[in-house]
Each structure stands twice: as structure tokens, then as C-alpha cells.
Amino acid sequence: MYPLIRNRRLRTNEAIRRLVRETVLTPDDFLVPLFVVEGKGVKEEIPSMPNYYRLSLDSLEKEVKELWGMGLCAVLLFVKVPDDLKDNKGSEAINVGGLMQRAIKTVKNACPDMLVMTDVALDPYSSYGHDGIVADGEILNDETSEILAEMSISHAAAGADFVAPSDMMDGRIQTIREALEDEGHTHTGIMSYSAKYASAFYGPFRDALDSAPVDIKNVPKDKKTYQMDPANRFEAIKETQMDIDEGADIVMVKPGLCYLDIVREVRNEVEVPVAVYQVSGEYAMLKAAAEKGWLDHDAVMMEQLLAIKRAGADIIATYFAKDAVRLLG
Ligand code: PBG
């Protein structure tokens, strides 16, 4: 008894594999996170993120031109704020002359058609390293949302196409949406980090921006009262659905690889584009293993990105975007 149905027929050679391939990566899939710092001519490598850099505005200009030339069309901006500008309310976040606001203009001047998304959360601006205002050992929800709304308006006014709230306060999407409408920024979109888990994979990112929660009495040591418990699944759907109802144009699951079950479930449930953030710790793991010669960097990278797309990602925020596009040829 030999099988009549042989699945291997569809794997016989590269041509047939190409013909029946269900998932294909393209440069259009990627959103490129960029870290911006003050200074001139700065391009400093982040120790826990080999081959990834903090860029001053002039270096940012060069970088986005290069990205655009490679066929990448969207960036997600983060800024590293000097310690002396940090406070509990993240006042620097709404400075119209602040680094983020200047970075947005720099990208738009260099590449007018590049889509600019901006991170909206207090942590890089917070003296306590939290995404919201800290009071009596807690993170204030509604007061924080108000600042996030002001921050969003200032990003929109500087030219951001989308704001990306990554803070996980309740109701902030509605507060931000209403504020943008009131100020006439009706075309500014919101990409909500809707299912964002309290993950240990954000470590290298916090090194990059010097934004980890500080170890001071009466300041929470972690973000577990606002970011989601990695154990939970239904909650991800609830969070995502609520953000859509509040006005999110794009939703996100974060981190990526450990949460692909959530990605698939969210993709099946909602009708808006789903973004996935392959976070700094995921990047660092592969870099470290490849450096030791234990994994084939390029092959594993492409397999991971493909798996994220296959799981249901319409957009992948990834530090591998340039490397991947180079390989895609
Ligand atoms: C901050 C923010 C974080 C990331 C994106 N926005 C860190 C955090 O929540 O502590 C992590 C991204 C990464 O690890 O690559 N609100």
C-alpha cells in the first residue's frame, strides 16, 4: 500500500514551492523603529542591540533617506531624553521644540512620503521610568491619558501621520482621538498598542532609551499594573476590541514570537490592520546566538519574520527590517 496523495509533490523544486507559497514577505510589511538622540553626527551602537543605533537628527536624516531608497515606507520614532529634562509628568513630551517634534520634521523634510509614526508614552520622559504619572506607588490612569492626548496633538502638529500609544492606560485611545478631532487633526491615525504584555523581552529597549523603571521607594518596580499578564488570552481580545471601539485605526500585539497565538486570534476577531512588534529582546537573542555561531542569523531571521506574518501580522515592527529587505533583494 503506497500513498496516492503525496504532499511532497508540491515541494519537489523551488519553482513549485514558489507557486504554492502562501506567505511572502515584502518591504511593505515592515515598520522601522528608530531611536533618536540629541547631538550632531551621533550614530552610537546600543550595546544590547548589536548593529542597531541611536541617531542624532542629522544621522536620522541620512538613515531615513537610505530606508526610503531601499523601499521601506514607514518609521516608528522613539527618543532618548536627557535626565535633566525628565520629570514625573513627562513635561518634555509636550515641548513643541522637543526632540520628538524635531525628529518628526526632520523625517518629513528628508522624505515627505515616508509614513511617520510616533511612540506616545511617558517612559522616556519620566524621571521614574514609567509610562504614566506616579503617585503613592501607583500609576495614575486618567491624568496620564490627558498628557498623552496633548503629546499626540503636538506630534500631529509637527507632522506625524500616526501616533502610537504604547502605555496601556484605560480609555486613552478615546481621549487621544477626541483631542485630535478637537484640534482639527482628523487625518492623524492611531496605531494602538492594544495587547501589550508586561514582558521581560523589553530589556534592551530600556537600555537604548535609558527608560527602565527606577529603583526608588514607592515607585513600582515593574509595569504589571498596566501592561498585560503574559498568562492571559481573552483579555487580549477585550483590550483590542475596546481600542477599536475607541477609535484605533491599527491595533498591535507585542511582543511577537512568544505571542503568535494571540496574533492569530486577534487577526481572526477584528477587521482593522494588525501590527506585531518583534521587540528588542527578540532581536538581541538572535544576535547573541548568531554571534556564537549557534544559529544561522539570516535564515532564522527570515523564518521568524515569515512566522509573524503567517500568524496574521499585516505590519511588522522590527529591528531586522533593513537586513530583511536586503535579503529579499
Ligand atoms: C514604552 C515602550 C516599550 C517598548 C516600546 N514602547 C518598553 C516598555 O514598555 O517598557 C518596547 C520595545 C522593544 O522592546 O523593542 N512604552
CATH number, position 309: 3.20.20.70
What confidence tens digit (pLDDT) does each residue in 265-307 have? Answer: 999 999 999 999 999 999 999 999 999 999 999 999 999 999 9
What is the chain's length?
329
Q: Is 102 helix (H, G, I), strand (E, B) or coil?
A: helix
CA of 204 to the centre of ligand 1 (A): 9
| DSSP 8-state secondary structure symbol assigned to residue 175 | H
Residue 16 lies in a domain: no
Residue 14 lies in a domain: no
Roughly what angle, to the nearest 10 degrees, separates helices 57-70 and 321-328?
A: 30
Grid cell 525628565 — which residue?
Answer: 86
CA of 167 to the centre of ligand 1 (A): 9
Print the domain residue range for 284. Answer: 22-328
Grid coordinates given for 160: 506625524
Q: What is the mean pLDDT of the chain?
A: 97
Residue 5 lies in a domain: no
Pairing between β-strand 162-165 and β-strand 138-140 as defined by DSSP bridges? unpaired
pLDDT of residue 14: 97
Residue 148 lies in a domain: yes
In angstroms, rounded to a whole number, what is the distance separating the alpha carbons of residues 91 and 89? 5
In angstroms, rounded to a whole number, what is the distance separating the alpha carbons of residues 176 and 321? 29
Active site residue 224: no
Q: Whose CA is nearest to atom 8 of ligand 1?
A: 202
CA of 289 to the centre of ligand 1 (A): 22
Looking at residue 144, its amino acid is: T
Burial profile 292-315: b = 16 or more Cβ within 10 angstroms, e = fewer: eeebeeeeebbebbbebbebbbeb
Q: Assess whether pLDDT exceeds 90 at residue 4.
A: yes
Are 32 and 81 a contacting pair, CB within 8 Å?
Answer: no
Residue 7 lies in a domain: no
In angstroms, rounded to a whole number, what is the distance separating the alpha carbons of residues 75 and 90? 23
Mean pLDDT across 195-223? 95
ipTM greater than 0.90, yes or no? yes
Grid coordinates given for 60: 536620522
Q: What percentage of the chain exceeds 90 in pLDDT?
A: 99
What confidence tens digit (pLDDT) does each residue in 72-88 have? Answer: 999 999 999 999 999 99
In angstroms, rounded to a whole number, what is the distance separating the alpha carbons of residues 302 and 284? 15
- Region for 137 from its dihedrals, namely left if φ exceeds 0, alpha if ψ lies in -120 to 50, beta otherwise: left
Looking at residue 282, its amino acid is: E
pLDDT of residue 96: 94
The total domain count for the chain is: 1
Residue 222 lies in a domain: yes
Residue 27 lies in a domain: yes
Mean pLDDT across 158-162? 98
In angstroms, rounded to a whole number, what is the distance separating the alpha carbons of residues 38 and 123? 17
pLDDT of residue 66: 98
Q: Give the Å distances, CA to CA, from 57 to 13, 37, 69, 108, 170.
A: 48, 7, 18, 12, 33
In angstroms, rounded to a whole number, what is the distance separating the alpha carbons of residues 197 and 305? 20
Confidence of residue 35 (pLDDT cuts 50, 70, 90): very high
Residue 15 lies in a domain: no
- One of 254, 287, 309, 322 is an active-site residue; which one? 254
Q: Does 239 count as an annotated binding residue? A: yes
Q: Is 271 helix (H, G, I), strand (E, B) or coil?
A: coil
Mean pLDDT across 229-246? 98
pLDDT of residue 329: 87
In angstroms, rounded to a whole number, what is the distance separating the alpha carbons of residues 65 and 55? 13
Q: Which of 279, 280, 308, 316 to mutate to test the pocket of ligand 1 (most atoms within 8 A of CB)?
A: 279
Roughly what angle, to the nearest 10 degrees, separates helices 142-158 and 99-110?
A: 30
